[in-house]
């Protein structure tokens, strides 16, 4: 079966987590290509401002506010997009939160919120989107994960767990989605300068700006690759580390982040 790559003539695009960071920049890039982009986040004001910025582009951005943890809201947005023009052709599930987790000050609430947004929040948009695309026999879905899904890193016990799950989810779904013409990809960026990474307590090598990340994603959506990852000089190194025995892996992570020398959190 020919790999489907969505174009503006095929229908609309949907980007979640579109009020800031990668999602915001990607929505503008896709609108620049000519897509009608439905932008979802909780902030109506920020989405209205984003929609205004699309004036003059080949396409347009339509504010579609909603909470990704609300199953009914996500289904309603998917149905709204499907009723517009040629329907939903491309969905990029990007919404996510990063709550640093320290082993000495664990909070169940940090895990619950992270899982609700990063994992369940993707599923709540993914399921109705696949149903609509399956009915048409074509569609393209991209799930934004992270290189933290490759292996454990300091403070990422909750965040990294969700990203590892998203990688596995995309890999598993591909076997069936290929059969009915729905293409799925996973996006594993390195460190991007967004509100989610602003409070990281360690050095972030190869840090890039959201606009650069969005351009890399837009290019990757047109490629034949299952995984979109960048910058490769950094992400491929992290992927290769998974082949090391655990003692070497933990030694290198501690050396790279200086984590072993950091004092314990006290509150």
Q: How high is the pLDDT of residue 233?
A: 86
Nearest to 68 by CA among 16, 21, 146, 19: 16
Q: How high is the pLDDT of residue 14?
A: 98
Can you tell me the distance from the alpha carbon of 234 to that of 205, in angstroms, rounded to the nearest whole number?
Answer: 8
Q: How high is the pLDDT of residue 261?
A: 87
Query: Could you tell me which residues come within 8 angstroms of residue 142 by beta carbon, excluding any fewer than 6 positions away?
Result: 90, 91, 92, 93, 184, 185, 186, 187, 217, 221, 228
Q: How high is the pLDDT of residue 204?
A: 58
For the question of whether the overall pTM of this predicted structure is more than 0.85, the answer is: yes
Give pLDDT tens digits along the chain (267 positions).
568 999 999 999 999 999 999 999 999 999 999 999 999 999 999 999 999 999 999 999 999 999 999 999 999 999 999 998 789 999 999 999 999 999 999 999 999 999 999 999 999 999 999 999 999 999 999 999 999 999 999 999 999 999 999 999 999 999 999 999 999 999 999 876 665 655 555 565 667 888 999 999 999 999 999 999 999 988 999 999 999 999 999 999 999 888 888 888 776
Residue 78 is given by DSSP the state H
Q: Is 159 a catalytic residue?
A: yes
Within 118-158, residue ranges assigned H as helices are: 121-136
Whole-number CA gyration radius for the chain: 18
HSE-CB of 227 using CA atoms within 13 angstroms: 20
Q: How high is the pLDDT of residue 240?
A: 95
**Catalytic annotation, pick one of 38, 98, 150, 159:** 159
């Amino acid at each position: 079966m020919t790999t489907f790559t969505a174009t503006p003539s095929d229908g609309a695009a949907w980007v979640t987590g579109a009020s800031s960071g990668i999602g915001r920049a990607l929505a503008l890039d896709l609108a620049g290509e000519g897509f009608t982009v439905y932008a979802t986040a909780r902030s109506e004001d920020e989405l209205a401002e984003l929609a205004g910025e699309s004036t003059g582009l080949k396409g347009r951005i339509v504010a579609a506010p909603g909470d990704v943890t609300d199953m009914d809201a996500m289904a309603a947005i998917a149905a709204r997009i499907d009723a517009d023009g040629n329907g939903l052709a491309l969905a990029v599930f990007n919404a996510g939160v990063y709550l640093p987790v320290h082993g000495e000050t664990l909070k169940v609430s940090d895990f619950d919120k992270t899982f609700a947004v990063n994992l369940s929040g993707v599923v709540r948009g993914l399921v109705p989107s696949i149903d609509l695309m399956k009915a048409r026999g074509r569609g393209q879905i991209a799930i934004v994960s992270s290189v933290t899904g490759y292996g454990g890193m300091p403070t990422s016990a909750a965040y990294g767990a969700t990203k590892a799950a998203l990688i596995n989810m995309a890999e598993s779904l591909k076997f069936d989605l290929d059969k009915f013409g729905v293409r799925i990809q996973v996006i594993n960026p390195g460190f991007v300068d967004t509100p989610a990474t602003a409070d990281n307590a360690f050095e972030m090598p190869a840090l890039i700006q959201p606009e650069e990340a969005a351009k890399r994603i837009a290019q990757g959506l047109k490629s034949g690759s299952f995984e979109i990852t960048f910058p490769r000089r950094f992400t491929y190194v992290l992927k290769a580390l998974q082949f090391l025995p655990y003692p070497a892996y933990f030694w290198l992570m501690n050396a790279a982040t200086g984590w072993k020398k950091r004092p314990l959190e006290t509150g």
